[in-house]
Amino acid sequence: MDVDIMEHIFLLVLVTLMSVVQNAFFALKVEKECKTQNTKSAAFERLSCARRNCMDTYATFLAVMWCAGICLSQAPAAFAGVVYLGVRQQYFIGYMGQTSQSTPGFLFGKRVLSFLFLMCLVGILNFLLGQYCGSDYKEYIQTITKAASPLLLLP
């Protein structure tokens, strides 16, 4: 296997492991809040809801990140994954305050997931075009996604 491809796959694995550590951090926060509060407080309810929301989107995030990395390009997929982890942290911390503070993180996370999903669709479409029509646009599409991935950082 090419060394460059191995480096990009390493980036995807690293983002996946960072996501697992982040989920463990969220679980510890919820457990700590549960131990300090004997009754179900509003803070505990918000933390528990934020953790549930993060866990519900975790499988989708991993699926689209790996699909985008395998089908199209690993570097933009790993970059979008790191951005998504930061956004998810912002979402969780926003939930610890007022619920309205988590809205920007939620909307930004939807944008990152949409970008990864679009990368998956384009990668699969390019594969089908290559298989059945004999035309491969992977290099052009990779150039576009590498140029477009920094646009994810715009608010």
Residue 37: pLDDT band (50, 70, 90) is: low
3-state DSSP of the chain: CCHHHHHHHHHHHHHHHHHHHHHHHHHHHHHHHHHHCCCCCHHHHHHHHHHHHHHHHHHHHHHHHHHHHHHCCHHHHHHHHHHHHHHHHHHHHHHHCCHHHHHHHHHHHHHHHHHHHHHHHHHHHHHHHHHHCCCCCHHHHHHHHHHHHHHHHCC
The range of the structural domain enclosing residue 79 comes to 3-153
pLDDT digits (tens, 9 = 90+) for 80-104: 988 998 888 888 777 777 666 777 7
For the domain that residue 20 is a member of, what is the CATH number? 1.20.120.550
pLDDT, residue 2, reads 58
pLDDT, residue 50, reads 74
Instruction: Tally the domains of the chain.
Output: 1
Query: What average pLDDT does this structure show over 54-73?
Result: 83
